[in-house]
Structure 1
Amino acid sequence: MKNIWNIYKKGLIAENPIFVLALSLCPALAVTASVITSITMGLSVMFVITMNNVIVSLTRKLVNPKVRVPVYITSIATIVTVVQLLLQAFSPVLYKALGIYLALIVVFAIILARAEVFASKNKVIPSFFDGLGMGSGFAIALVGIGIIREVTGAGTILGIQVIGDWYDPALIMILPAGAFILIGYLCAGFKMLTLHMEKKENEKVKRGEA
């Protein structure tokens, strides 16, 4: 159980796809101008990466290594198509808001990377939690960016006004340039956090040895 938790939690902080690994930054710049689109994209990616990890793990002994990448991409594309159809059917407004970035989930580096690095070499349950952890870290990062951008750029959260009329919105924050600057600061903050965590872990190890 502890091993499963370690697999899951690494995607939240230590190997966060956006703030640490800097993978799939395109949606972090493009769809985080509002919280609702951030949540939708985050949950969509979480679902795709988790399900793809499960499929890759189940078929890892059946797929010829020479054609593994096309097989992985076909699997991802199939799952993304399901997500697109569901959003188009039940939430056409969000489907339209995400636009082409929903289809571009197929080529997100983090999804293919987890399939290649982890799922293709491990059993189903660890692969499931690896995908869930990475997807959770990705979703949390998007939502965090979305909250900061919407509050500072429009004074709202989920379209609800949370700052009075006295506030003059920083319009740059709802533009890609603002997202780029914000992500830079957040990455620096995450680096400081991971270094602090590593330092505390090393101190625990030293005390254990003593």
Structure 2
Amino acid sequence: MFDKISEIFKDGLWNKNPGLVQLLGLCPLLAVTSTAANALGLGIATIAVLTVSNLLISAVRRLLKAEVRIIIYVIIIASVVTCVQLCMQAYTAELYEALGLYISLIVTNCIIIARAEIFASRNSMFYSALDGFANGLGFTAVLLFIGGVREIIGKGTLFSGMDQLIGESGRNLQINLFSADDGLLIAILPPGAFITLGLLVAAKNYLDNRLYIKNSSKKRDSESTIVTE
């Protein structure tokens, strides 16, 4: 049990991260990450939708005919997104306005459909909920990193607009590093999102390759020791 839980979180956060490895959900990932606050808001919404939709799809998976399963998945996901959307509209109205259409587009997010088809339709409710949470957390981490880097380079701030997410206390979280006039404009424009994501993917691949080489070297040394003995 613990091995499977560990595998689910490793895959969602690193090995099969939907934003870095599978490159799914690029539309919202690149569109709303001009600030860390926007990225975090969309990330939390995505975690909620992934977790609840995976849970519900797993609960009804044995009742669905293969011919209509995708339609039912979309209906379930759309219902969950609507609930999340209404909650954001009620409690974080300013953030909801800032994110706009991209909250509704979670319905068509490839990550949600992919996890429903690949995992939730084949596993128990408990593991499906964990899978949704882990993948949502991994996607949110990518969103937050890209949003933070773009905001720092482009505006000279970090966590500006957090009051839209958590209320007035969020204003105290804003960090001012330098004047916005000294920022690099391209960072908060669409090309900045592509460049940041590309560098992040390259960094992950580099670390994975280094780890693979290190593990391979240890394995060869171990085999050599055994043969010598």
Matches within 5 A, 1:100-111: 100-111=101-112
Q: For residue 178 of structure 1, report the CA deviation from its aligned partner.
A: 0.8
More helix by percentage: 2
Matches within 5 A, 1:1-210: 1-159=2-160, 160-165=174-179, 168-202=182-216, 210=226
Asked if structure 1 preserves the Cα contact closer than 8 Å seen for 2:35 and 2:151, the reply is yes
- CA separation of 1:174/1:70 partners in 2, compared to 1, >3 Å: closer, same or farther? same
Paired AA for residue 45 in structure 1: T
Q: TM-score, normalised by structure 2?
A: 0.86
Paired AA for residue 53 in structure 2: N
Structure 2 distance, partners of 1:16, 1:96, is 28
Q: Is the partner of 1:61 in helix, strand or coil?
A: helix
Q: TM-score, normalised by structure 1?
A: 0.93
RMSD of aligned residue pairs (Cα, Å): 1.8
Q: Is the partner of 1:16 in helix, strand or coil?
A: coil
Q: For residue 204 of structure 1, report the CA deviation from its aligned partner.
A: 5.8
Is there any run of 5+ residues in structure 1 with no aligned partner, and where? none
Asked if structure 2 preserves the Cα contact closer than 8 Å seen for 1:20 and 1:191, the reply is no
Asked if structure 2 preserves the Cα contact closer than 8 Å seen for 1:84 and 1:103, the reply is yes
Structure 2 distance, partners of 1:31, 1:48, is 17
- CA separation of 1:196/1:83 partners in 2, compared to 1, >3 Å: closer, same or farther? same
Paired AA for residue 37 in structure 1: N
Segments of 4+ moved more than 6 angstroms:
none
Q: Is the partner of 1:33 in helix, strand or coil?
A: coil
Q: For residue 29 of structure 1, report the CA deviation from its aligned partner.
A: 1.1
Q: Is the partner of 1:121 in helix, strand or coil?
A: coil
Q: For residue 2 of structure 1, report the CA deviation from its aligned partner.
A: 2.2
Q: Indicate the percent of aligned positions where both proteins have the same amino acid.
A: 40
Q: For residue 198 of structure 1, report the CA deviation from its aligned partner.
A: 3.5
Q: For residue 195 of structure 1, report the CA deviation from its aligned partner.
A: 2.4
Structure 2 distance, partners of 1:198, 1:47, is 34
Q: How many residues align?
A: 210
Structure 2 distance, partners of 1:71, 1:184, is 35
- CA separation of 1:166/1:123 partners in 2, compared to 1, >3 Å: closer, same or farther? closer
Q: For residue 202 of structure 1, report the CA deviation from its aligned partner.
A: 4.5
- CA separation of 1:198/1:133 partners in 2, compared to 1, >3 Å: closer, same or farther? farther
